[in-house]
Amino acid sequence: MVWIAICDDEIKIGAEVECALVEIFDQQKIEYEIDVFFSGEELCRKMESGAHYDLIFLDIQFAEDKLNGVEVGRLIRNAHQNHLVSIVYISWTKKYALDLFDLQPLNFLVKPLARERIEEVIQKYMTIAGLWSKEFTYKKGHDAYKVQTKNIVYIESHGRKLILHLADNKKEEFYGSLKEAYLEQLQKFDFLFIHAAFVVNYDYVAAVKYNQLFLTDYETPLPISPNRRAEIRERYFSIVERRRV
C-alpha cells in the first residue's frame, strides 16, 4: 500500500495529479490511498494527528495560507522528524529550487504539469521504493518465462513473432504484440519505441541520429520511423536530463 498526499490550493492542478496517479498505480496493480489537501496547514494538522504518507506532492505557494510549501517541508523534516517520506514540490516558478536543497525533495515539477513528468517522478519513486517490477515476462505456449529488463538490448517484431535480443548475445522468440509489450511492461524502464518493428533499451543506446539509432557493440544501426523521429528525440533527451538528477 502506498499512502499519498496531494497538497495544492489549485483544484485543477490537484485533480490532474490525482488522475495521473490513479491511472499509473491501477495499471501497475499497486494498492494506494490518496488524500487531497488545499492548504499546508491542513496537511500538517493531518500529519500531527498521526497520518502517515509515503509520497507527498506539495505546492510551494498558497494564496491564503500562512505556511508556504518550504515551511511545511521543514516542519515535516524537522518538527516531525520524518526523513522517509518522499516530497515532490510543485510551483509556477523555479526560484525556490535552492531553498529546497536541505529538504531533500524527490523532485521539483514546474506548472503547468506535463503528464510525462508526473509519470517520470512516479517511476523514480517506485524504483527507490522497490515497487517497480524489473522483470519482463512472456509466454511460450502454456509456459511462462521472465528475464531481467536490464539484460534486454532490444526487441524485434516479425509479424506475430517477437525476438528478444539479450546482452549475452542470446535470443528468445515468442508470439505477442510489440506495442503491448512496450506499453504494459517496457515503457516505464526507459525503452524507446523507435519503429513498428523495434523497441530499444535506452541503456544500450550509443547514439541517436536523424533516422537511425546506434547500439553499443552493434555495428548495424536500427531505423527510426519518420513519424516517430521528433517523439524519439524528445523522449531520449528527456531521459538524459532526468538521469542527471
Instruction: List the domains of the chain with CATH numbers.
Output: 2-129 (3.40.50.2300), 135-243 (2.40.50.1020)
Reading the block at residue 84, the C-alpha cell is 522517509
Q: What is the pLDDT of residues 137-169, one digit of tens each?
A: 999 888 889 898 989 999 999 989 999 999 999
Half-sphere exposure of 214 (CA within 13 A, CB side): 8
CA distance 87 to 103: 9
- Predicted confidence (pLDDT) at residue 236 exceeds the cutoff of 70: yes
- Rounded to two decimals, what is the model's pTM? 0.58
| 222 close to 194: Cβ distance less than 8 angstroms | yes
Mean pLDDT (whole number) for 2-18: 94
Listed in order, strand segments (DSSP E) in 50-204 are 55-59, 86-91, 107-110, 135-140, 143-148, 152-158, 161-166, 171-175, 191-195, 198-201
Half-sphere exposure of 67 (CA within 13 A, CB side): 20
| Summary count for the chain: helices (H), strands (E) | 6, 15
Give residue 132's pLDDT.
63
